[in-house]
Amino acid sequence: MRAVIFDLNRTLYDPIGDELYPGVRQMLEDLRGKTRLFIYSKRTGDRSGLMKRLQLGEHFEACYFHEHKTPENLSVLLTDHALTPQSCIVVGDLVDSELRAAGELGIETVWARHGIEPIELPPETHMPTYSADTMADLHKLLLVLI
């Protein structure tokens, strides 16, 4: 069983619409019980309150919020839950944040693009293992990967 570690803001949660992206709740319900789920997100505002308001807590084994995402603080999540880099997938929208931290640890990554036009990433940037253009694409991909 592989663990899936999600970023929250702009990966599962749309801060402009102040709601989950369409399809997130169904994806989490489909993944729950098949894999271990975690949140690894930037500490901005009241993230715990947001998780409660969105009724997301029941889907995740644990949530980690940090000022900056680094390989070191992602390693804490792995250690706390007896996970190896090979047993995880990190899903996020920022290539130079959560995906870079994961890539430096040898964790497979999924770039959740939400329909953003493909961009050419600079050579020094972490290259995501996979990308998903829509939540439906992400949902299907994760069901295959876990």
* Residue 98 belongs to domain with CATH number: 3.40.50.1000
The predicted structure's pLDDT at residue 9: 92
Report, as an integer, the average pLDDT of 98-106.
94
Which pTM was predicted?
A: 0.92
DSSP notation for 44-82 = -S-HHHHHHHTT-GGG-SEEEEESS--HHHHHHHHHHTT
Please give the pLDDT value at position 115: 64
127 band by pLDDT with thresholds 50, 70 and 90: confident
Range of the domain at 112: 3-145
pLDDT of residue 117: 59
> Comparing C-alpha atoms, which of 63, 56, 60, 47 is closest to residue 15?
47
Model confidence over 21-67: pLDDT tens digits? Answer: 999 999 999 999 899 999 999 887 677 788 999 999 899 999 999 99
Q: How many domains does one find in the chain?
A: 1
